[in-house]
Structure 1
Amino acid sequence: MAALLLLLAGGAATGCGGRATTHHKPGTTHEQASGSAGTLLDTQDGGGHRLREVPAQGAPEVKLTARPDPEDGWNLQLAVSRFRFTPDSVGGAALTGAGHAHLELDGRNLARVYGPWFHLPAAQVPEGAHTLTVRLYADDHTAWAVAGKPVEAAVTLTAGPPGQGTHSHPASPPAGAPATRPAPAADRTVTLAVRDGKVVPATGRTELKRGERLALRVTSDRADTLHVHGYDEELALPAGQEATLVLTADRTGLFEVETHESRLVLTQLLVR
């Protein structure tokens, strides 16, 4: 009887198939719980998490977009490929293409993210220019990596004094990174300005043929966000700086181009 109890105790201690395991969720196999997803490296990211190497082909990807919120801070969008957020299994085994994300500001951890959208309050970003980084992690808190580098993306956030607005733009790519292809040239360009709460020139109508590419060049005397209704296109407008939005008029109808903060209609797009 004593021998039988010792045998059962030994089996419970070694887990699946007589091998020691990390804990894993119901329905997760021993191979998954043992970290068969990728290769665990000895190197770490800036936050002290080990890297989990996967082949470049089929590896997770993430893109980060930061849009100024009309009331406070920024609305962040994490556009992921070959990856899904799994908040219900955090702390479990590393499964290929699954996990969560971390947000860092200038290398300082801000938050753990479990979905594609996150609101970043302005109070968390000091005045000045900063680098905001998003990095993808497995459920076991190892960082997904390709060629020894974490899977991540970054943008630059610029925070002004309290009450004077914010803006963002993509961070400069690291040395040696492939250059981003320039956007195709626009068929038409419309130049507008917002000064003292008025649109210059006065709000009018811009007629386009379906398929034409339009460049909207806008300068605002205060930080704002431009929005094109019907196309769900947005553009941050830094105070006193020209910003350009290029879109393809692939939908017919009448669409307003307005600003969020000042609630001004800059122009109407009539696409035939």
Structure 2
Amino acid sequence: MFLIVPCTLPAMGQDASTIKRFDMILENGRVAGKPRVLQVVRGDQVDILWTTDRMIMLHLHGYDIEITAAPGSPQHMTFTADATGRFPVEIHGGAGRDRILVYVEVHPR
């Protein structure tokens, strides 16, 4: 008798990194009830889904990623966590600009 054990392998050309997903809701330009620090490990694939009640431009420092989210149109901020450290996500432009919303902490593997 043979026992078949299911397993998940990384796709061809990928390492065994983990996908870390975070759902962030912004109300009046502020994070609603979520952690202020998003922790991941170097090599993780990171996907932050931003939902907002008004048009807002977000910038992840250190990775130089900028997105614009609008009401009814959630936006993904995706990247591979290849640099370790603590990186702020800020609002850019408009009222409340350059205000830190959350930090992304990338820890060594």
Q: TM-score, normalised by structure 2?
A: 0.71
Residue of structure 2 equivalent to 1:251: 83
- Contact conserved, 1:257 with 1:265, CA < 8 A, in 2? yes
Aligned mates of 1:243, 1:224 — CA distance in 2: 10
- Structure number with the higher helix fraction is 1
Aligned mates of 2:62, 2:56 — CA distance in 1: 19
- Structure number with the higher strand fraction is 2
Provide structure 1 residue ranges, at least 5 long, that are not aligned to the other structure. 1-183
| Aligned-pair CA distance for 1:241 | 1.9
Residue of structure 1 equivalent to 2:30: 198
Percent identity over the alignment is 31
Provide structure 2 residue ranges, at least 5 long, that are not aligned to the other structure. 1-13
Cα-Cα RMSD = 2.0
Matches within 5 A, 1:121-270: 187-260=19-92, 261=94, 262-263=96-97, 264-270=99-105
Aligned mates of 1:238, 1:218 — CA distance in 2: 9
Given residue 212 of structure 1, which amino acid in structure 2 is its aligned partner?
D
Given residue 234 of structure 1, which amino acid in structure 2 is its aligned partner?
E
- Contact conserved, 1:228 with 1:255, CA < 8 A, in 2? yes
Given residue 225 of structure 1, which amino acid in structure 2 is its aligned partner?
M
Runs of 4+ in 1 over 6 A off after TM superposition: none
Q: Which of the pair has the greater relative contact order for Cα pairs under 8 Å at 6+ separation?
A: 2
Q: Which has the larger radius of gyration?
A: 1
| Aligned-pair CA distance for 1:266 | 2.7
- Contact conserved, 2:30 with 2:101, CA < 8 A, in 1? no
| Aligned-pair CA distance for 1:231 | 0.6
Count of paired positions: 88
Q: TM-score, normalised by structure 1?
A: 0.30
Residue of structure 1 equivalent to 2:8: none
